[in-house]
Structure 1
Amino acid sequence: MSYKEDQEGEIEALESIYNTDFIVVEDSPFYKFKIRLCASSTDLEFSTDPTCFLIFTYTKKYPEEPPLVDIWAEEDDPFFDDLKKEELKEKLQDEASNNLGMVMIFTLVSIAQEWLAESLDLEKTRIQEERERIRTEAEEAEKRRFMGTPVTVQNFLSWKEKFDAELASMKKVEKEDKDRKLTGRELFLRDKTLIESDLKYLEEGGEAVAVDESLFEDLDNLDLDDIEDLDVDDIED
């Protein structure tokens, strides 16, 4: 049987096997055709199932020579990027070299289907492992949030240094506040017993005196040293 007869006989067989998934692109000078390859990716949550076309072109002496092989897929295919297409193409070329002397397209397509199924299983495993890694990291982060940071000599000394600095700053402010001379208004606001003691004194004298608190509102501007220097006669005037 001649090469031409072998090729035409295989074309008829491929048309009956793959039906609408088989498309002849050219029939002269040699047959060029493509076969659709598709796999379900339900578990991978791809927007569409991975799909490509295996493109074969007979040579003059096929099947004594391997056919030319190429892979085509949509640019937005969720699985068949350039790396995957090149990987599948190399695998088919290697298999073609191992099957010289016999028609081999059905064998090559079957190998491509097996490769696709295995690759999708690997991708599914990779996605599951990635999800598990993210979940584990989130759980560990949540545990650390409740457990706090383990105490070490280094982080304890760092914390103590900051704590001592804050404590010294608070003591400094407190000392400055004590050393500062309080105004009359601040004295009354800080120690309410001063007001109550005066009222008690007046009540013990037999008189109930109504105190107008507004008289004390301007005590902030009152200089007690000036009052001490005043003569009683000046006050009466």
Structure 2
Amino acid sequence: MSDHMEEQEMEAEALEAIFDTSFEVISSIQPFEWSLKVVPIDCGDDEEEENAQNHVAVKLMATIPKDYPESLPQLDIIVLKGLAEEQRQTVLRIANDESKSNEGMPAIYAICEAVRTWLGDNNVKGLDDGSMHAQMMRRAREEAKSKEKLELQFESQKKEDEMTSTELEEIEVRKRRTEGTPCNEENFLAWREKFNKETEDDLAREADAIGKDKSSTSKKKGGANTAIKDEAIENRLTGFQQFSGKMGVLNMEDIEKAADEAENDPNNLDVEELNLDEDLFDDDEDLDDLDFDDDDDEDINI
């Protein structure tokens, strides 16, 4: 079995599963022949409802070449209900156009859907009426549909023209995000230059901010230290104040207390423990040479 034949049989099985009894194999020998009943509204097995809802219906005939889908199928349209020869030719043209659009792929399902769409748009009574009045009515309906289609196209174009450049740019950005930007040497070099510049600017801003913080902190610390030093100097006691009190009066009690503490301090050396030569202090004759006059006594009393 060739690949084309296997693919054609698989397509036939799929069409039978989709269309059920509306699909029929006319010839199971190559070239295969298939037929499909196409109506605007599928009512299932309810024939009465189908006849009430559908005013037009056709049967699509397809002869499948051996090398299909590489080559196009041969198509024909048989009118089942409600269409004149003019409409049959229109439906056949639509079917062949859809077949060409799907060349190289299984196309029968797509052809049926294109035919069904046209039937749905023209699902009215009287299309098979060949009278002059009926033909005029059909032309009027077709012109109305063409006019409506043109109006829709005009409105769509008008909306596009009203879009601002910003909106178009935003759409382009979204499109680039979806599709992605191809990476090449030119794009990479431009990105790297932009990245390096942004990095340098960030580092410069950080360095400037750090310098300002240090300067502000140094000024604050310097001012605080100066204030502390001034306060310490101002509150510092003099030697006289430490022994006499802040009022300048000699505090004898503190002096005696300090003397007692010094005497009781075990770290202080006792006079008896010192190895002194007492003979040095026994010679009182040397004291006779000293002249103590009245002026000296007055100074001592002061």
**Which band: TM-score by shorter chain?**
0.3 to 0.5
Normalised by the length of structure 1, the TM-score is 0.46
Considering Cα pairs closer than 8 Å and 6+ residues apart, tell me whether 1 or 2 has the greater RCO.
Answer: 1
Normalised by the length of structure 2, the TM-score is 0.36
